[in-house]
Structure 1
């Protein structure tokens, strides 16, 4: 299928390939930049090195897998300041955009996902989606999400043990919910997971990412054409009627917007459901606390979001002008990354940040980012997590690992941290 692909438009500078030479601005104080990303030692915490960064080098020079250099910011107040500073750009077309994957910038500069754009372009797309993700709209989805989660628990319990929890439950919940919202048939839930596995891997080439997203865009293009002929009451129908048919967006722009909504929405929720479940299996005291008092679940979800911080290095930015954080100047045109896990484990903001505390007061974490680019789907993500975890604790109290704990495989090389698989029984 020939899938429409959004063309590259006027750029602030030609987007270089991932093999572009590193910046020549050097590391602060003459020190050699450390390699980034830094692998987690514990899956339920930020990398241990972040503690030293916050104390000794809170705005640190790093070398990325592309061999380009950038800055990483690890303190809570600095991360919030960075992500709300209008002098900082999210435009993926900027030459020193700190992409972490081989093909990420090349494909992103061509497809223009709205999370990698600046105002007024970003504002236009965000306003287009915002009405569908309000607290009121999301609350209205609760009965539908609960019914689907109950179906998936039924299917899991009817399956032959052991099962891969990531596939049969975590991915099935998150993908079903986003498909329900958009009006996408959910015949092949693993298709969406495969697309994200390729497009979100730091080792995928531009050609591999383009091929994976091409399949996704082909599916969406067919649904858009169908909704133009037969509108429904789903989000794709609304976007077609209110924005495509009116000429506010082109078909390519609509495909990109829907595509990033699917990819970002389902991947983060999949990883959060699976990783939170593993944490509860490791910590039966936490599971018992939630079973004894289900009203704690909303607070527990926010604490899981803070502790796990699976989207740690998603906030990729470029300084459009010189900026200063913690007394260090980041020169204009340098790439900079706000470390969400660093901020969420900052002891200056959270007492005993390594502890999982469902009674933590004023849990103002930045797991969904901060500022104008804060995750538009955060209310829906919270709803999915609340229902998925509460239902699991209530209906499958004997859930346990079917393999040795050391055999659990984690995704260290993906845009969001999570689990490759989780074999369970009950």
Structure 2
């Protein structure tokens, strides 16, 4: 890697970022805001290939996000999920987790998600005419859903949300939230200990009981899996719901179309996922052996980041890639990843988005943005992209 690659700018416009990424070729060298150098893969075909390349390891081999600030015990407890390991351990762990995270459990949640959505919409309707849909709807709904699914007590949910938000915001940042992440792990360890002696019918207890012959999850794998589900289960779905509502409300005729044709909502959600990817980058990989990475020589130990957002806007893979097309017929977006690490929570995220967006549009037919679309602020995140707030006039 060269001595002074560009620092990755997380504060500029997404179009500026994508234009610079695509112009640089399939691989570009950058530094994260915390100074850590990475190779970034940006084109759709190359991103798919990189996500399936066994020479790019998901295993935690680098302290890129905290630069050694966390204790080894906390790192192991938060970074041993199936997202951060390779086969054969990944195969074993995913198989064990899948036993507790089956599709029937997800579909059985739909009535409960509809109930939670209705309660939140009732609160919006009872409040002021102008509301922030992120704070009042898009964020609390996934928090409640993933908390109930896992079995997180009501009294812990606000802290879990705060800690998870701090962790996501701290990835690649100059200062990592060590205290928040340490507290997060400690509380998850306490919750697992309680569920061992007093199990319930939620997912965490099912994970504790999950077995495959002589295999079961280790303590670190349990904590790390719960950590992953809390973080991924609320922030990414919050972003999907919020980004989708923003895209509809900034163009009212699109919102009106979904109201008139709710059967088109699932297809529209796929375009939300592509156009404003709630997850912009996959977990960083470590190069295990010196290799040629799409025309660029990289060394063993180098870090590689695959940009899902850049891949989703690649003109070679999508016609009119920089246009939002609600009825796009061919949409092989990569927002849930690709290959063996494809997101296990994709069906849950899609279902929550269908319920949340469909219910909101039906409940508030006159809703409009309360500010100019260009004035909306986005969180500057390394691996996620979501709105800081979504101010809306509920009565139009």
Cα offset for 1:213?
2.8
Q: 1:399·1:425 contact (CA, 8 Å) conserved in 2?
A: yes
Report the counterpart of residue 344 of structure 1 in structure 2. 312
Q: Alignment length, in residue pairs?
A: 388
Question: 2:105, 2:291 → 1: CA distance?
Answer: 38
Alignment of 1:36-115 (within 5 A): 36-41=8-13, 46-94=14-62, 99=64, 108=75, 111-114=78-81, 115=83
Match of 1:292 among 260, 281, 289: 260
Q: Distance in 2 between matches of 1:327 and 1:125?
A: 34
Alignment of 1:251-266 (within 5 A): 251-266=219-234
Give the direction of change, closer, same or farther, for the CA distance of 1:401–1:360 in structure 2 (3 Å limit): closer
Aligned to 2:132: 164
Q: Cα distance, 1:168 vs. partner?
A: 1.7
Q: Give the structure 2 partner of residue 26 of structure 1.
A: 2
Structure 1: segments with no counterpart, 5+ residues: 1-24
Matched residue, 2:238: 270
Q: 1:186 to 1:155 in 2, by over 3 A?
A: farther
* Alpha-carbon separation, structure 2, partners of 1:331 and 1:325: 10
Deviation at 1:412, TM superposition (A): 0.9
- Equivalent position to 1:126, from 94, 99, 108: 94
Shift of 1:159: 2.5
State which of 367, 380, 387 in structure 1 corresponds to 2:348.
380
1:162 deviates by 3.2
Separation in 2 of the partners of 1:319 and 1:175?
35
Distance change >3 Å, CA 165–CA 317, structure 1 → 2: same
Corresponding position of 1:227:
195
Query: Partner residue of 1:11?
Result: none
Q: TM-score, normalising length from structure 1?
A: 0.83
- Quick one: structure 1 residues 103 and 170, their matched pair in 2 at CA, closer, same or farther if it must change by over 3 Å? farther
Is the CA contact (8 Å cut-off) linking 1:102 and 1:205 kept in structure 2?
no
In the TM superposition, what is the alpha-carbon distance from 1:362 to its structure 2 partner?
Answer: 2.8
Structure-1 separation of matches of 2:137 and 2:104: 26
Q: Is the 8 A contact 2:50 2:56 kept in 1?
A: yes
Cα 1:401–1:278, aligned 2, differ >3 Å: closer, same or farther?
Answer: same
TM-score, normalised to structure 2's length? 0.88
Which residue of structure 2 aligns with residue 16 of structure 1?
none
Q: Return closer, same or farther for 1:352/1:153 CA change in 2, 3 Å cut-off.
A: same
Cα separation, 1, equivalents of 2:356 and 2:88: 36
Q: CA deviation at 1:415?
A: 3.7
Cα 1:213/1:117, change in 2 over 3 Å: same
Contact 2:379 2:387 (C-alpha < 8 Å) held by counterparts: yes
Structure 1: distance between partners of 2:6 and 2:390: 32
Shift of 1:77: 0.5
Secondary structure at the aligned position of 1:337 is classed as: strand
* CA RMSD of superposed structures (Å): 2.6
**1:150-169: per-residue Cα shift (whole Å, max 9, x none)?**
12111221234433321221
Distance 2:189 2:222 in 1: 9
Is contact 2:262–2:358 with CA below 8 Å preserved after alignment?
Answer: yes
Gaps of 5+ in 2: none
Quick check: 2:77–2:185 contact (8 Å CA) kept in 1? no
- Once the two structures are TM-superposed, the CA of residue 344 in structure 1 deviates from its matched residue by 0.5
- In structure 2, C-alpha distance between the alignment counterparts of 1:52 and 1:214, rounded to whole Å: 36
